[in-house]
Structure formats: structure tokens, C-alpha cells
Amino acid sequence: MTPIRRLLHYFKLHKASLTAGALCVVGSAVFSLAKPLIVGNAVNALTHSFTRAMLLRYGLLLIGASAIEGIFLYLQRWIIIGASRRIEYEMRNDFYAHLQRLPLSYYQDQRTGDLMSRATNDLASVRMLIGPAVMHSFSSLLVVTGAFIMMLRIEPRMALISLCAVPVVAGMVKYFGEQIHVRFKSVQDYFGDISARVQENLAGVRVVRAFGQERNEAEIFREMNREYVNRNRSLIRLTATFYPGLHAMIGLMFVIVFFIGSRKMIAGTMTIGSFVAFQFYLGRMIWPLIALGWVINLFQRGMASMQRLHEVWSVDPGADTNEGERVEGTVRGDIEIRELTFTYTNHPVLRDVNLSIRHGETVGVVGRTGSGKSTLLALLTRTFEPPPNSIFIDGRPIETIPPRQLREWIGMVPQETFLFSESIAENIRFGRAEANAGELRDAATMAGLSMDVETFSQGLETVIGERGITLSGGQKQRTAIARALVREPMILLLDDSLSAVDTATEEQILTALRNVRKGRTVLIVSHRVSSVKDADHIVVLDEGKIVERGTHDSLLAHDGYYADLYRRQTIEAELEEIA
């Protein structure tokens, strides 16, 4: 779907209101064109016989035409501008919903600030195109056409001379319109760069201050801001040349028409009333052409922004759009992985992985950084799409399970904890919106968060700031664990979710999880042996392959990578105790 076709799609959804608005535009144009005729007839009539009754009659006619035109102007603005606001509302909802469906791989290549700019600044420009630009262009077309027809009726030769300005105006509009489009898109693209820079600095304010980079970042922003101003100045210089050029052309046309009309009146071939009406109609025809420059500006800005929005809309959401039929019955949680090989680029991240996990079992996954542990969990949730017939849940290929239903079965604690700028309770409730206060407290207790919550002034209702900035790393992780546990999932995935807590807190959480794990399938990814030693099975990943598997005791007896890791971490723990 092209940007124009997408716009037309939204126009069709509001066809009735836009049609009513168009009829109001026609009404206002008709009465606008009637006023010069009334004035011309009044001048002709009053030059012959001046009476109070005649003056009152033409005065009332002019007031009536102006009043009706004003009513139609009000209605056209109320209807069309209102429709543009509703279309903007729908487009913003659709754009946000599309962003929610896009795969994770898309966000790895995009900047948050640029996407925010598209969702706000660009949508506002498109709304200006849909409302004022469409309304004024249609109104201008009607008034210019109607005025020219009336001018032809009054004096054809003068009307045709007036028409000579149109090709010049059209040429100026075409040239300047294309330049405005290019420069405005450049401005919008750079605004996205600035937004991204600001967003990154605010999100990483602790890192900026920790490395003392405040002045450096302020200087970088100053330079970017200067470039943004320069690009805007370039655009302003262009429009500042465009509008005076139009005014000069139109002023010249008025002088020529006034000169020719004056000679005709002196010669007696044209009445004063006709000349006055002609001048009014010339104004009615010319001033919309001046407004056309502003309208073209809006169109070019709007289409440049629509192109930027279309770039996002044209990205295929992939698996999340293929919901399919929901699986009937209750999930058990049996997981089977067969010959799984997965590649991000040219180098396989996982190779020939085979793993069978029965309902109620807990499996630990350990391995060095980059061995594919987190990728394995991402494939189980279809965050990344696995190869067909490689991962099965309850004997069913997960690519045949609707993603939304699959994720309802799973409680996931990601490696990078993300919390919202809400209270702790709202962050936990994000896992299950209908959870009551008691369930939130139970989830917090199981996650080892209850002791910390007691120290907060408002308990679970304490607001934690953007991305949970007021919490420690361990408190963030435990909040994320509580968010997963409140779902009461049949499959629980913990991706190195205890890395930021001390060993005592880790033991407390693991003890609580022993009860939670009963009747659930659990995968625990960790670089700590202490997190997985009580698992029913442990697998060791290295360079994407399972190189060891077994229980804690059997792997120690095997004296391989796992045993070496266990010895090193045991020594580290003993040294910490001595220190």
C-alpha cells in the first residue's frame, strides 16, 4: 500500500462527514462569489437613482450573503477539521498498534527518539494535510474557477489576460513545492536524530554523569541543535522567497487589469459597476492562488511526513499477524526441541540442539557469554521465529500456536529488566491485569521483594520513577520475577534473572521458587551454578551446542566445563566470605 492509498483508506472511513464538509465548502464558495455581483449591481443601480430603499435592499442582500457564507465557513471548518482530528486519532492508534506488532529485530536497528518523532511530529503534519490543506485546496479550486467564469461573463478579454498569471504561478508552485518537500523531509529526519539523542541521554543519565560527560553531551546537543536550526532556516528562506514572488506576480496583474479597465470605462464600453465587480472577482481568483502556496507547503510537509510513517507501516510484523486458531484445552507444559539450528546473520547461534523437558521438570541452562542461552528462551516465546518443526509444546509445533496464546502460557523474566514509570504494584500487575492486592503481595513474597517493600513509604504503591530508577538492580530483578509469577504460568522462563542479587537473597528466592516450580515447567538460564544446581537436569551450552547434560552431581563427576565453573565460583564465594 502506497502512502497515498493509505490516506485514501482513512478518507473512505469518514466519507460521509467529508462529503458533508465538501458541500459546505461549495455553499461558502457560492455565496462568496455572489457578493461581488451584488456590489457591482448596487454600484450600477445607485449611479442612476440613489434611494434609501435601494441602499437598504442591497445592504441587506450583502449582509445576508456574508452571513450565510460565514455559516458555511463555520460548518466546513467544524466538519472537515473535526474529521481530520478523528483521522489523526485513528492513525495514531493504528501506528502504535503496528509498532506493538513489529518483531524485536526491527527495534534493534531503530532509535526510540526517531520513532517518537514519527508518532508525534509527523502525524501532526499529516493531520494538517488532511484538514486545512484539503479544505483550502478544494475551496480555492471552486472559488478560482467560479471567479474566472464570472470574469469571462463581464469582460472576456480582460479575463484571459488575467489568466496569463496562472501558468507562472503554477510553475512557481511546482518548483518551490518540490524544494519544500525535500527540505522539510530533511528537517523531520534530523528532528528524529535530535529526539533519539535526547532520549538516549535521559535514559542513560547515570552513565553520562558517572563518566563526567555532561559538558560533552551538552556541546554535542548544541551542535545538533545548530544544524537543526540551519536546516529550518534553509526551509524558511525558501518559503520567504516563494510568497513574496507570488505577491509580486499578483500585484503586477492587478495593475495591468486596472489600466485596461480604466481605459474601457473612459471609452464607455464598461460600466463602473462591472469594473468594480471584475476587480472583486479578480481578488477572489488571485488570493486563493496565494493561499495555494501555503496549501502546497502543507501538502509537501504532510506527504514528506506520510512517507516517513509509511516506512514504518510497510515493515511486515511477521508472525504476530498470523494468529491462527486458538489451541483448545489446558496446556501441560511438555517442551521438546529437535535439531534446532538458528542463525541471526551468517554464523549459527544455536546448532543441532536437542532437548526434552517434561511437565513439572526444572532444567538449568549454563554456558559462557554468547553461547546462545538467551536466544533459546527467545525462540521458545517466538520473540524470534524458530525454524518450522524444531520446537514443540505438548507435541504441537509452536509456529502453529497463536503467539498471544503461547505467551499467555509463559511467564518470562528477561535478562534486561524493564520497569514502567508506575508503582511497584502496577509493574507486577502488568503480568496479569486482573490480579488483586493479595495476589500481588504473594508474588512479591515469592520473588523475595516483600522485605524491601516494607521499607518503602507507600509499600507496593510506591512509584519507582522512569525505568525503576529509584530501585537497585536486585530490586528491579525481583520486581520482574514477581511480574512473571503473578501470571501463574505453566511454563516459567528465567533468563539470568538473579544476576543482580547477592547470594543470600538468591538462596531466599530459590527456596520460594521450589514451591512455585511444582507442577510447572521451568527453564533457568544462569551464569551461576548456585542458581541451577537443584534443577532436575542441567545442560551446558558452548558455541551454540549442548556439550554437557545431566544432574549437578553427574556433571561434577564428569569434570568438564560445568565442574570447572563450579570450582571457580566456589573459590570466589569463599574469598568473598574471608573479605
Asked if 521 and 357 touch (Cβ cutoff 8 Å), the reply is: yes
Within this chain, do residues 339 and 311 fall inside the same structural domain, yes or no?
A: no
In one-letter notation, the amino acid at residue 498 is: L
Q: Is 471 within the bounds of a domain?
A: no
Q: Is 514 within the bounds of a domain?
A: yes
User: Whole-model pTM above 0.75?
Assistant: no
Within this chain, do residues 91 and 197 fall inside the same structural domain, yes or no?
A: yes
Within this chain, do residues 284 and 342 fall inside the same structural domain, yes or no?
A: no
C-alpha cell at 544: 551454540
Q: Is 426 within the bounds of a domain?
A: no
Residue where a domain terminates, one of 315, 348, 375: 315
Residue 341 has phi, psi (to 5 degrees) of: -130, 125
Q: Give the span between the Cα atoms of 399 and 389, in whole angstroms.
A: 8
Asked if 264 and 275 touch (Cβ cutoff 8 Å), the reply is: yes
Within this chain, do residues 223 and 113 fall inside the same structural domain, yes or no?
A: yes
Say how many domains are in the chain.
2
In one-letter notation, the amino acid at residue 550 is: G
Within this chain, do residues 376 and 301 fall inside the same structural domain, yes or no?
A: no
Residue where a domain terminates, one of 315, 343, 373: 315
- Tell me which residue of 22, 34, 243, 286 sits closest to 139, measured CA to CA: 22
Show the 3-state SS of 290-325: HHHHHHHHHHHHHHHHHHHHHHHHCCCCHHHHCCCC
Within this chain, do residues 74 and 107 fall inside the same structural domain, yes or no?
A: yes
**Interacting residues of 263 by C-beta distance below 8 A, sequence separation 6+:** none
Q: Long-range contacts of range 249-258, CB-CB < 8 Å, 24 or more positions apart?
A: 249/165, 249/168, 249/169, 249/172, 250/165, 250/169, 250/286, 250/287, 250/289, 250/290, 252/165, 253/162, 253/164, 253/165, 253/282, 253/286, 254/279, 254/282, 254/286, 256/161, 257/158, 257/161, 257/162, 257/282
Assign residue 277 the CATH number of its domain.
1.20.1560.10
Within this chain, do residues 408 and 302 fall inside the same structural domain, yes or no?
A: no
Within this chain, do residues 86 and 160 fall inside the same structural domain, yes or no?
A: yes
Per-residue pLDDT of the chain (579 residues; tens, 9 = 90+): 688 888 888 888 998 999 999 999 999 999 988 888 888 888 877 777 767 888 888 889 989 989 999 999 999 999 999 999 999 999 999 998 898 888 777 887 787 778 888 888 889 889 988 888 888 888 888 988 888 888 888 888 888 877 777 777 777 777 777 787 788 878 878 887 888 788 778 777 767 877 778 888 889 889 999 999 999 998 888 888 877 877 777 777 778 777 787 777 777 777 888 878 887 888 777 777 767 767 877 888 888 888 889 888 888 876 554 456 777 777 888 999 999 999 876 778 899 999 999 988 999 999 888 888 888 988 898 888 888 999 999 889 998 888 888 888 888 888 788 888 888 888 888 888 888 888 888 888 888 788 878 888 788 888 887 777 778 777 888 888 888 888 888 888 988 877 766 777 777 777 777 777 777 898 988 888 888 888 889 999 988 899 999 999 999 998 888 888 888 888 877 776 665
Q: Is 160 within the bounds of a domain?
A: yes
| Tally of CB atoms within 10 A around 477 | 27
Residue where a domain terminates, one of 287, 315, 343: 315
Q: Give the span between the Cα atoms of 301 and 125, in whole angstroms.
A: 6
DSSP letter assigned to residue 472: -
Q: Give the span between the Cα atoms of 224 and 194, in whole angstroms.
A: 7
In sequence order, what are the beta bridge partners of 362?
522
Q: Is 245 within the bounds of a domain?
A: yes
Within this chain, do residues 248 and 114 fall inside the same structural domain, yes or no?
A: yes
Within this chain, do residues 250 and 364 fall inside the same structural domain, yes or no?
A: no
Within this chain, do residues 533 and 391 fall inside the same structural domain, yes or no?
A: yes
**Interacting residues of 70 by C-beta distance below 8 A, sequence separation 6+:** none
Show the 3-state SS of 51-120: CHHHHHHHHHHHHHHHHHHHHHHHHHHHHHHHHHHHHHHHHHHHHHHHHHHCCHHHHHCCCHHHHHHHHH
Count the alpha carbons within 13 Å of 64 in the hemisphere toward its beta carbon: 8
Assign residue 542 the CATH number of its domain.
3.40.50.300
In one-letter notation, the amino acid at residue 113 is: G
Q: Is 466 within the bounds of a domain?
A: no
Q: Is 294 within the bounds of a domain?
A: yes
Q: Is 328 within the bounds of a domain?
A: no
Residue 402 has phi, psi (to 5 degrees) of: -55, 130
In one-letter notation, the amino acid at residue 493 is: L
Give me the domain span that covers residue 568: 335-418+487-578
Q: 396-397 and 362-367 as β-strands: parallel, antiparallel, unpaired?
A: unpaired
For CA atoms 515, 520, 526, 528, give the dihedral sign.
positive
Within this chain, do residues 140 and 268 fall inside the same structural domain, yes or no?
A: yes
Strand, coil or helix: what is 357?
Answer: strand
- Tell me which residue of 93, 88, 96 sits closest to 128, measured CA to CA: 88
